């Protein structure tokens, strides 16, 4: 009979103690969207520090031979039915003393698991080898790579070296800061504390709009003294780059290259401190990713939530609606469904992936496809029931899946998409297509992006009777919007008259009174294919400039035509203006349009528009209107 502790000791060579530079995954499976809250929990490989769900950890053992894992399981806490409700003492939600935000509470448990027989040992335990205890403690104390990369993207373009750091004055007034037990010198606050790097005063931060935060003592101290820099206590660790340093005159988070020296002046040994508070960037990220989008969308509309295969939502990562919108549309096409879901399972993709599957585009696209299309994660979100211990299905939403690892891979080579700023859905679509096409350079027959590719031909004819052709391949058809073809001109004229009248009276037009131009898609397509005069066209036949006639048509047609509607126009003075229109699209009109083109295909299976990320994001939420 095998003794579990002896088996663990025999596999200590496959256990490593993580270094500060190691990426540690402990919040999400690398090849599925399982988390510690999933039924089987999460298994962290104690050699590679990659995390796997219950269905996937066996594949990792087969591939790498790594047998020792930290098992993390989060279980919902049961709330006693007779527990008295606490009276709120703060005008805040979800914090101690504030109103209950009705979120579920979880208890986290750990154990050591040895594969392939899933032999389990309890953790913590003094009987475990010291190497295992140190490895697990380091993993639990470390910030997860998923979270760290997201915060880094959020702050990548904001932190600059402070102009006050290099010549910062420090006053020797005998202040020595202890390693813990801090308190604001002007009130009783023990969190959100900032150390002024000039005089060593420990003061609380700003008060937030909802009553959380501090009592403004730190900023009031700056206004009184002019001492410019402060560091947030609780964010100082051996990695000083993550410490939260704020410059009051520059009104921004900054970098202090001499922070170690400035801290030592007040007796602080940063190498021994542990992180106990969120930085300003982390708090901003939390507020953005947890924002309730229902506040600003579908106002007044009754929507029916949908669940099951093909109806899985994507979690907002903070300004990531452009990505969610585009990927929901992409994976509604047969070509991408077949390539990454029907014809490729997770185990096959993992088997061909490199040692770190989190950096492999093929693996992360397969993971995203299975997450969106399988229906495994398309279930009603659990919500605390105030009248019972059971968790009930909230009828209005699902938790969805966070595409963190996919975003990290697809945006790695792009300075804009790797940030957390708002982006354009069309630009992201073109970048995505380019990256997928590059991956399939040696296997074009299985490249799913070819379903979007089509040929365009420009025909130029001049007075010489000669004709010139220019051919190119493209993935989008960009169309102008002819406002003069609107079908509701009388309504528009009446609305413009009403708007002018209200403007003269100093009143605003209500949302119910707004009338938008209704432009048929057929008119946009007719504008695209209509002949156009080109002045000062150089004719090689005449060897002189002349006027030519340009006409444009298709040389091949895609399975899926992606339309870009040019909703921005330039007004006088080169001021951009966004057109407020309704686009009237009828699929039947395409047969007429295509039949007049020199096309290889006279049928269209599906048409998608990428007019804006807002338009597509509504699709990604999966509600039926």
- What confidence tens digit (pLDDT) does each residue in 480-533 have? 888 888 888 898 889 889 888 888 888 887 877 888 888 888 888 888 888 988
Q: What is the pLDDT of residue 253?
A: 87
pLDDT tens for 415-452 read: 888 777 778 889 999 999 999 999 999 888 999 999 99
Q: What is the pLDDT of residue 164?
A: 94
Torsion sign across C-alpha atoms 584, 585, 591, 596 = positive
Superfamily of the domain at 4-143 = Zinc/RING finger domain, C3HC4 (zinc finger) (3.30.40.10)
Which residues, 6+ apart, have CB-to-CB distance to 150 below 8 Å?
285, 317, 318, 404, 420
Classify strands 467-474 and 454-461 as parallel, antiparallel or unpaired: antiparallel
Averaged confidence pLDDT in the chain: 81
Q: What is the pLDDT of residue 291?
A: 52
pLDDT tens for 82-110 read: 555 554 444 444 445 444 545 678 899 99
Q: What is the pLDDT of residue 505?
A: 82
Structure tokens at 107: 């208890």
Q: In this structure, what are the phi and psi dihedrals at residue 160, rounded to the nearest 5 degrees?
A: -125, 160
Q: What is the pLDDT of residue 281?
A: 66
Is the model's pLDDT at 61 over the cut of 50? yes
Q: Check: CB of residue 326 under 8 Å from CB of residue 372.
A: no
Q: What is the CATH number of domain 309-449?
A: 3.90.70.10
| Residue 142, SS3 per DSSP | coil
CA–CA gap between residue 275 and residue 235 (Å, rounded): 5
- How much is the pTM? 0.69
Buried b (16+ CB within 10 A) or exposed e, 120-147: ebebeeeebeebbbebbebbbebbbbbe
Asked if 309-449 and 453-612 have one fold, the answer is yes
Which residues, 6+ apart, have CB-to-CB distance to 248 below 8 Å?
219, 222, 228, 229, 230
Q: Given strand 477-479, what is the order of strands in its sheet?
A: 477-479, 560-565, 606-609
CA–CA gap between residue 88 and residue 586 (Å, rounded): 56
CA–CA gap between residue 315 and residue 179 (Å, rounded): 38
Helices (H), 295-450: 321-330, 334-337, 346-352, 361-373, 404-410, 425-439
Q: What is the pLDDT of residue 338?
A: 95
Q: Check: CB of residue 146 under 8 Å from CB of residue 27.
A: yes
Q: What is the pLDDT of residue 20?
A: 82
Q: In this structure, what are the phi and psi dihedrals at residue 556, rounded to the nearest 5 degrees?
A: -155, 160
DSSP designation for 17 = P
Q: What is the pLDDT of residue 351?
A: 94
CA–CA gap between residue 355 and residue 373 (Å, rounded): 26
Q: What is the pLDDT of residue 103?
A: 61
CA–CA gap between residue 301 and residue 409 (Å, rounded): 37
Greatest Cα-to-Cα distance within the chain, rounded to the nearest angstrom: 95
Q: Check: CB of residue 245 under 8 Å from CB of residue 164.
A: no
Q: In this structure, what are the phi and psi dihedrals at residue 61, rounded to the nearest 5 degrees?
A: -65, -40
Is the model's pLDDT at 572 over the cut of 70? no
pLDDT tens for 231-256 read: 999 888 887 877 899 999 998 889 99
pLDDT tens for 446-464 read: 999 999 999 999 999 988 8
Res. 586 pLDDT band, cuts 50 70 90: low
Q: Check: CB of residue 214 under 8 Å from CB of residue 234.
A: no
pLDDT tens for 132-191 read: 999 999 999 888 776 666 555 555 455 789 999 999 999 999 999 998 889 999 998 988
- Per-residue pLDDT averaged across 62-71, rounded? 96
Q: What is the pLDDT of residue 453?
A: 94
- Per-residue pLDDT averaged across 258-278, rounded? 88
- The full set of domain ranges for the chain reads 4-143, 154-289, 309-449, 453-612
Which residues, 6+ apart, have CB-to-CB distance to 574 below 8 Å?
none
Res. 210 pLDDT band, cuts 50 70 90: low
Structure tokens at 614: 């807002």
- Per-residue pLDDT averaged across 341-369, rounded? 95
DSSP designation for 585 = -
Is the model's pLDDT at 73 over the cut of 60? yes
Is the model's pLDDT at 340 over the cut of 90? yes
Reply yes or no on domain 453-612 having CATH 3.40.50.300: no
Which residues, 6+ apart, have CB-to-CB distance to 118 below 8 Å?
none
* Weakest mean pLDDT among 48-62, 79-93, 113-127, 425-439: 79-93
Q: What is the CATH number of domain 154-289?
A: 3.30.40.10
Classify strands 68-76 and 202-204 as parallel, antiparallel or unpaired: unpaired
Q: What is the pLDDT of residue 113?
A: 96
Helices (H), 11-158: 57-64, 130-141, 145-155
Which residues is 25 bridged to in the sheet?
A: none
Q: What is the pLDDT of residue 286?
A: 61
| Residue 286, SS3 per DSSP | helix
Which residues is 194 bridged to in the sheet?
A: 203, 232
Structure tokens at 15: 């256990």
Res. 283 pLDDT band, cuts 50 70 90: low
**Using alpha carbons only, what angle is made at residue 470 by residues 480 and 479, rounded to the nearest 5 degrees?**
10
CA–CA gap between residue 149 and residue 154 (Å, rounded): 9
Which of 322-326, 364-368, 397-401 has the largest mean confidence? 364-368
Q: What is the pLDDT of residue 393?
A: 43
- Per-residue pLDDT averaged across 310-326, rounded? 87
């Amino acid at each position: 009979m095998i003794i579990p502790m002896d088996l663990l000791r025999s596999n200590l060579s496959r256990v490593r103690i993580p270094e500060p530079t190691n990426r540690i995954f402990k919040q999400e499976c690398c090849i599925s969207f399982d988390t510690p809250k999933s039924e089987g929990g999460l298994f962290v490989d104690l050699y590679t520090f990659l995390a796997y769900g219950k269905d996937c950890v066996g594949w990792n053992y087969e591939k790498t031979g790594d047998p020792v894992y930290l098992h993390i399981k989060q279980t919902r806490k049961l709330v006693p039915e007779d527990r008295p409700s606490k009276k709120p003492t703060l005008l805040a939600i979800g914090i101690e003393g504030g109103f209950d935000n009705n979120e579920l509470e979880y208890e986290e448990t750990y154990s050591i698991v040895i594969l392939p027989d899933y032999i389990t040992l309890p953790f913590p335990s003094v009987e475990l080898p010291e190497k295992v205890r140190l490895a697990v403690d380091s993993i639990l104390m470390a910030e997860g790579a998923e979270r760290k990369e997201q915060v880094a993207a959020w702050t990548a373009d904001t932190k600059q070296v402070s102009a006050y750091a290099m010549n910062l004055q420090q006053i020797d007034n005998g202040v020595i800061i202890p390693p813990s037990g801090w308190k604001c010198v002007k009130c009783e606050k023990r969190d959100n504390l900032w150390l002024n790097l000039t005089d060593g005063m420990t003061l609380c931060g700003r008060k937030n709009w909802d009553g959380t935060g501090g009592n403004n003592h730190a900023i009031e101290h700056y206004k009184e003294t002019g001492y410019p820099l402060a560091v947030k206590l609780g964010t100082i660790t051996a990695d000083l780059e993550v410490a939260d340093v704020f410059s009051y005159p520059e009104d921004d988070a900054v970098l202090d290259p001499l922070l170690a020296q400035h801290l030592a002046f007040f007796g602080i040994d940063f190498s021994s401190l542990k992180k106990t508070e969120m930085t300003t960037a982390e708090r901003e990220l939390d507020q953005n990713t947890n924002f309730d989008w229902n506040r600003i969308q579908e106002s007044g509309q009754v929507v029916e939530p949908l669940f099951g295969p093909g109806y899985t939502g994507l979690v907002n990562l903070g300004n990531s609606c452009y990505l969610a919108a585009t990927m929901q549309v992409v994976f509604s096409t047969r070509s991408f469904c077949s390539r990454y879901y029907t014809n490729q399972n997770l185990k096959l993709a993992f088997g061909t992936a490199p040692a770190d599957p989190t950096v492999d585009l093929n693996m992360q696209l397969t993971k995203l496809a299975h997450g969106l299309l399988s229906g495994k994660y398309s279930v009603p979100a659990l919500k605390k029931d105030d009248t019972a211990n059971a968790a009930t299905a909230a009828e209005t939403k699902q938790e969805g899946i966070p595409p963190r690892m996919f975003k990290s891979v697809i945006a790695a080579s792009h300075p804009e998409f790797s940030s957390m700023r708002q982006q354009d859905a069309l630009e992201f679509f073109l970048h995505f297509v380019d990256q997928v096409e590059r991956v399939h350079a040696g296997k074009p027959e299985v490249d799913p992006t070819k379903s979007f590719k089509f040929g365009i031909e420009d025909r130029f004819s001049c007075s010489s009777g000669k004709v010139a052709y220019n051919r190119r391949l493209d993935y989008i058809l960009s169309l102008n919007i002819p406002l003069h073809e609107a079908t509701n001109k009388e309504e528009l004229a009446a609305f413009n008259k009403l708007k002018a009248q209200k403007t003269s009276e100093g009143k605003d037009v209500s949302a119910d009174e707004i009338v938008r131009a209704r432009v048929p898609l057929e008119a946009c397509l007719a504008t695209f294919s209509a002949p156009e005069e080109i002045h000062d066209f150089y004719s090689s036949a005449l060897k002189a400039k002349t006027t030519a006639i340009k006409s444009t048509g298709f040389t091949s047609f895609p399975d899926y035509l992606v339309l870009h509607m040019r909703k921005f126009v330039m007004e006088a003075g080169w001021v951009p203006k966004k057109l407020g229109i309704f686009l009237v699209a009828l699929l039947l009109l395409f047969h007429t349009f295509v039949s007049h083109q020199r096309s290889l295909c006279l049928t269209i299976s599906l048409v998608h528009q990428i007019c804006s990320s807002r338009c597509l994001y509504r699709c990604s939420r999966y509600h039926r209107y």
